[in-house]
Amino acid sequence: MDYAQLGRTGLKVSRLVLGTMNFGPRTDEPDSHAIMDSALDAGINFFDTANVYGGDEKGRTEEIIGTWFAQGGGRRDKTVLATKVYGKTDTGWPNHDKLSAVNIRRAVDASLQRLGTDHIDLYQFHHIDRATPWDEIWQAMDVLVQQGKILYVGSSNFPGWNIARANETAVRRGSLGLVSEQCLYNLAERRAEMEVIPAAEAYGLGVIPWSPLQGGLLGGALRKERDGGGMRSTTGRAADALADPDQRAQIQAYEDLCEKQGMDPGEVGLAWLLTRPGVTGPIVGPRTQEQLDSALRAVELDLPEEFLQSLEEIFPGPGPSPEAFAW
């Protein structure tokens, strides 16, 4: 496994991030534990979750990770643990979501209890909060750092200007600020290249792409559709894309290119992200051991320059701003 420093920090993390959103709703606890063991054995030390993961039982995913840590064997010490705050974990009171100081304090203690640990390595804002001022948010985070409950702060789904505003406020307060940004980024969805990724690079944030295969679209969706195994390609972003004739043709060209080179489309999609400027590592969310094995192969996949150029022709990016929307 290859490792990279997370943004401008000294923290070394694996170039694949184990996403855990399926743990609980789609993958039961024993299989989730087995996948985490396999990931750690393969050198993946960066695990990502959120306080709302768990399907109908929000928080269940954190509990599953907590019972895995409780097995000992150095599991917690070897893991860089990332979770998120913003979403409501119950249907109760009005201050039980978003980024007020009240909710941040409540949410971190609840996550620590579910995770069975005394600290979170990377505590991430799951979304921007349009109502809470950044001074309040950073005051709450600074207290958590001083208490030893969190070490670093990251963002997720932030526009470029929110990254700038957050970190400029942090600088004024003498805080470290954001060190990472999770964003939707893959071959088929490259709008993050316009402003989010440049802002992240300028402020020293590591970029952590989520949905690196666009909900299964880039994982051989048409081949699986023909074989009768394309369950994920029938819903969400993948289904919307395949319903569009132009996008369907684009995906067909992609799968044909991969087949010509003897490469698996899903592994190519991950390997491409590992070549992109600013990317620390994509989040892979395996439901099974086989999916984890495929993701691990992507780290070793070398994409020739000519092949990368062919990918650019099939999936041209928007280009940087403002040129992407102006002269």
Q: Which CATH number fits domain 3-216+265-308: 3.20.20.100, 3.40.50.300, 3.30.2020.10, 1.20.1630.10?
A: 3.20.20.100
Residue 149 DSSP class? S
Query: How large is the average pLDDT for residues 276-285?
Result: 97
**In this model, does residue 300 exceed pLDDT 90?**
yes
For residue 90, what pLDDT band results from cuts at 50, 70 and 90?
confident
| pLDDT at res. 230 | 54
Region of poorest pLDDT, from 15-24, 188-197, 233-242, 281-290: 233-242
Query: How large is the average pLDDT for residues 87-115?
Result: 93
For residue 236, what pLDDT band results from cuts at 50, 70 and 90?
confident
Q: What does pTM read for this prediction?
A: 0.95
| pLDDT at res. 91 | 73
Query: How large is the average pLDDT for residues 45-51?
Result: 98
**In this model, does residue 295 exceed pLDDT 80?**
yes
For residue 92, what pLDDT band results from cuts at 50, 70 and 90?
confident
Phi, psi angle pair for 200, to nearest 5°: -60, -45
**In this model, does residue 104 exceed pLDDT 70?**
yes
| pLDDT at res. 228 | 81
pLDDT tens for each residue of 226-235: 988 655 545 7
Distance CA 198, CA 40 (A): 31
| pLDDT at res. 234 | 56
Q: For the chain, give the mean pLDDT.
A: 95
Q: Between β-strands 46-48 and 80-85, what pairing exists: parallel, antiparallel or unpaired?
A: parallel
pLDDT tens for each residue of 251-265: 999 999 999 999 999
Angle between helix axes 289-299 and 265-274 (nearest 10 degrees) is 50
Region of poorest pLDDT, from 230-234, 247-251, 302-306, 320-324: 230-234
pLDDT tens for each residue of 126-172: 999 999 999 999 999 999 999 999 999 999 999 999 999 999 999 99
Considering the chain, what percentage of its residues have pLDDT values greater than 70? 98
Query: How large is the average pLDDT for residues 288-300?
Result: 94
| Strand partners for 53 | none
185 has catalytic annotation = no
Residue spans of the domains in the chain: they are 3-216+265-308
Given 53, 123, 185, 254, which residue is catalytic?
53
Contact 284, 19 (CB under 8 A): yes
Cα torsion angle, 5, 208, 217, 313, sign? negative
Distance CA 151, CA 120 (A): 7
| pLDDT at res. 229 | 63
Q: Between β-strands 178-184 and 46-48, what pairing exists: parallel, antiparallel or unpaired?
A: unpaired
